[in-house]
Structure 1
Amino acid sequence: MRRPRPTEESRARAARISQALADLLPDEPARPPEYRDPGARTPRGGDCPGCGEPLHATAVRHGIEFDTCAGCGGIWLDAGELEVLTSGLDPSPGTGAMHEADLRARVPAPATRESDVRYRECPRCREVMNRRNFGSISGVIVDECRHHGLFLDAGELEEVEAFLRAGGRAIGEAARARAAARSVPPPPPQLETGRPVKQEIVAESMVDALWSLLFR
């Protein structure tokens, strides 16, 4: 069957129907101001993971530009920036702490913060961040997103620097290696050789043969 060709009248009728249907459909509800698309990526800056205030870019040493919060004093560092900021802080050989007790005597314990028990969201991807003890034994708990960076509360950057200047990096790595060694299961016990078992089997066979000759 040949399809009929559209005419000016049919085009006008289709336009009127489309407009009538559009008028019947409800308008899209307006989103509240606090609405945030959960899949949207946040550009540089964003909201502070500690208090929710806006983060502002700040230029610092080594050419690193990180984000600071004027509300709580927290710092957001993109992935790799903490390593650059703290490079060169390790003490000269023979001048750092010799063991963990010596390290504790040189570096005061980190301040106790209420935020240590709260999980925060990454300002870049809004995923919940992990909490880890910087350097394994420093006691400075940082909030880290495995993709985008980490968040430090006010004063924690100074605590990290003091820990590294006292030689905490090497002592922390040694402590982590000892913990890893303890977590490895011990090797299975060596199996005994089959020689004694074989001798017992041969002896039992000889006894059976002798019994058969005498009593059968």
Structure 2
Amino acid sequence: MRRPRPTEESRARAARITQALADLLPEEPLAAGPTEPGSAGERGPRGGDCPGCGEPLHPTAVRHGVEFDACGACGGIWLDAGELEALTSGLDPAPGTGAQNEADLRARVPAPVSRESDVRYRECPRCREVMNRRNFGTISGVIVDECRHHGLFLDVGELEEVEAFLRAGGRAVGEAARARATARSMPPPPPQLETSRPVANESVGASAVDVLWNLFFN
């Protein structure tokens, strides 16, 4: 995929988006201190190219201990593995107040904005491997680009759509939908086969009687 060349207009727009993100997400200090290799606090290299437009990603702001890698050109956000879960923890509604089914959920949450006319597979900014596309929460309609090793990319506006989906109770409704889909995909149990063991036992018994009869009376 050929990447667009930056222009003066795109650079000015990048500066405006970066400032808007900084204003939206107030900065918080990151927890300091060394981490052991492989620990939950270990972070990979920052930066890289934006999977959406190819412009550089930059650390922008921190919220709930999560530092965003944002693209100032298109507004996309890169989150390392586990960061989306940390960012959206606590958004589920109180028991009994969330949507009860998919119809109820659709009435509470507007449909996600369609952002592309064709399917595009994007590269992970960390390993450059092609990422998978998945429907967040099974039924949200927010299609995220995910690298199974390093994290996921959200287009501009998708983080807000994910948060609205979770606040309406979409996590529980999506899990129920996934369970139903799994049950439908399971093969039916094999039919119960009638055993011929009683018949065989009867045949053995009859043969023994015939042998004894012939022995004593013939």
For residues 47 and 76 of structure 1, what CA distance do their matches in structure 2 show?
10
Moved more, 61-70 or 187-196: 187-196
The 3 A distance-change label for structure 1 pair 123 and 116 is farther
Partner of 1:69: 71
Q: Which amino acid aligns with 1:184?
A: M
Contact 1:58 1:67 in 2 (8 A): yes
For residues 168 and 43 of structure 1, what CA distance do their matches in structure 2 show?
33
Partner of 1:130: 132
For residues 153 and 108 of structure 2, what CA distance do their matches in structure 1 show?
25
CA deviations on 1:10-65 (whole Å, 9 max, x unpaired) are: xxxxxxxxxxxxxxxxxxxxxxxxxxxxxxxx931110000000101012211210
Structure 1 residue 115 displacement after superposition = 6.9
CA deviations on 1:124-165 (whole Å, 9 max, x unpaired) are: 000000000000000000000001000000000000000000
Structure 1 residue 197 displacement after superposition = 5.0
Q: Which runs of 5+ in 2 are unaligned?
A: 1-43, 208-218
**Higher Cα Rg, which structure:** 1
Q: Which runs of 5+ in 1 are unaligned?
A: 1-41, 206-216
Q: Which amino acid aligns with 2:127?
A: C
Structure 1 residue 120 displacement after superposition = 0.1
Q: Please give the TM-score of this superposition, normalised by the length of structure 2.
A: 0.70
Partner of 2:179: 177
Q: Does 1:108 align with 2:110?
A: yes
Q: Does 1:95 align with 2:97?
A: yes
For residues 69 and 86 of structure 1, what CA distance do their matches in structure 2 show?
20
Contact 1:86 1:161 in 2 (8 A): yes
Q: Please give the TM-score of this superposition, normalised by the length of structure 1.
A: 0.71
CA deviations on 1:92-114 (whole Å, 9 max, x unpaired) are: 11111111100001000001111
The 3 A distance-change label for structure 1 pair 43 and 61 is closer
Q: Give the aligned length.
A: 167
Q: 1:140 aligns with which of 119, 139, 142?
A: 142
Contact 1:79 1:148 in 2 (8 A): yes
The 3 A distance-change label for structure 1 pair 63 and 199 is closer
Q: 2:46 aligns with which of 44, 65, 72?
A: 44
Fraction of identical pairs, as percent? 87
**Secondary structure in 2 matching 1:161:** helix
For residues 78 and 115 of structure 1, what CA distance do their matches in structure 2 show?
27
> What's the Cα RMSD here?
2.3
Partner of 1:194: 196
For residues 100 and 86 of structure 2, what CA distance do their matches in structure 1 show?
25
Structure 1 residue 196 displacement after superposition = 7.0
Contact 1:50 1:115 in 2 (8 A): no
**Secondary structure in 2 matching 1:182:** helix
Q: 1:119 aligns with which of 118, 121, 136?
A: 121
Moved more, 54-63 or 110-119: 110-119
For residues 49 and 99 of structure 2, what CA distance do their matches in structure 1 show?
38
For residues 182 and 168 of structure 2, what CA distance do their matches in structure 1 show?
24
Partner of 2:210: none
